[in-house]
Amino acid sequence: MTAAITIKTTNQTELIDITGQTERVLKEKGIQDGLCCIFVPHTTAGITINEGADPGVQTDILAVLNEVIPFRFPYRHAEGNSPAHIKASIMGSSVKVIVESGKFLLGTWQSIFFCEFDGPRTRKVYVKVIGT
């Protein structure tokens, strides 16, 4: 079965480290070896893997995305959150992580980040593990 995680975001655009929460799901499943898919069922939020040590990296990723994808533009979508939809597609709706010995096989500096682009909101993330 697929596990669901709930995330409460507090800003309009924000990166939230969900490595611990998703790895907990993995341990509950007890799968030792396989592939994990972490999926965002929203269209104004995304997911990415990047550096978790210095929060400055998260700030810089958001700052440049918010600069390159204009908040003001002759957008057609009346809800006013088109920049969030565009950033969601650029970051992507899922990440895949290899599972080895019951743990995520991540690099030393890698963390998994939920990317809020139209917050604050209460969000969900699905975690699915496929064993080999």
Q: Which residues bind a copy of itself (CB under 8 A)?
A: 1-2, 33-35, 37, 39-43, 48-51, 54, 56-57, 59-61, 63-65, 67-70, 73-79, 82-83, 85-86, 88-98, 100, 105-110, 124, 126, 128, 130-132
Cβ proximity to a copy of itself: between 12 and 94 the closer is 94
Q: Buried b vs exposed e over 84-108: b needs ≥16 C-beta within 10 Å?
A: bbbbbeebeeebebebeeeebeeee
User: Least distance in Å: CB of 24 to a copy of itself?
Assistant: 18
Cβ proximity to a copy of itself: between 21 and 99 the closer is 99
Query: What residues are paired with 97 via a beta bridge?
Result: 36
CB 118 within 8 A of CB 81: yes
